[in-house]
Amino acid sequence: MELTPLLAGLVWGLALSVARQWAEQKAAGRADRSELFPDRDVVIAFIVLGTTANVYSALLIASGAPQVYARPSALVALALVTASQLLIFLMALRPSRLDLDLALAASAPYVYLAALWIAAQALGAYTLWLF
């Protein structure tokens, strides 16, 4: 486990979740925020952990030198990670009731990477980038 990308993602995730609290406060005013945004606890946890996972995987893939970029599967992973992080931005700065579904959509890169990993273990490959 590399410490620097992990901590960098964690810091950014915490900052985004603080931004979400501020956005929630602005949207709710005096009203009760748990009524307005159900599942806000899960969404907060997802913002923190999801940002950490996105930054971690993006930095690890990018450190794989130019050879990794020749693999389409790695480029697809980077694209999914970027899209996921944009959705997390959306969840942090524009809270809404649909945030749980947005979070589920933003989990796409993790499911993709896990599927690649299972296929790699089955094929005996030592890299995730099978194609």
Q: What is the dihedral of CA 38, 50, 87, 54, to 10 degrees?
A: 180
Question: What contacts 95, CB < 8 A, 6 or more positions away?
Answer: 20, 23, 24, 27, 37, 40, 43
Shortest Cβ 28–another protein spacing (Å): 9
Question: Of 94 and 105, which CB lies nearer to another protein in the complex structure?
Answer: 105
Shortest Cβ 7–another protein spacing (Å): 4
Positions that interact with another protein (CB under 8 A): 1-4, 7-8, 10-11, 14-15, 17-18, 21-22, 25, 33, 39, 42-46, 49-50, 52-53, 56-57, 60-61, 63-65, 67-68, 70-71, 100-101, 103-104, 107, 110-111, 113-114, 117, 120, 123-129
Shortest Cβ 79–another protein spacing (Å): 15
Task: State how far the Cα of 109 lies from the Cα of 93, in Å rounded to an integer.
Answer: 21
Task: State how far the Cα of 76 lies from the Cα of 128, in Å rounded to an integer.
Answer: 12
Task: State how far the Cα of 26 lies from the Cα of 39, in Å rounded to an integer.
Answer: 18
Shortest Cβ 94–another protein spacing (Å): 17
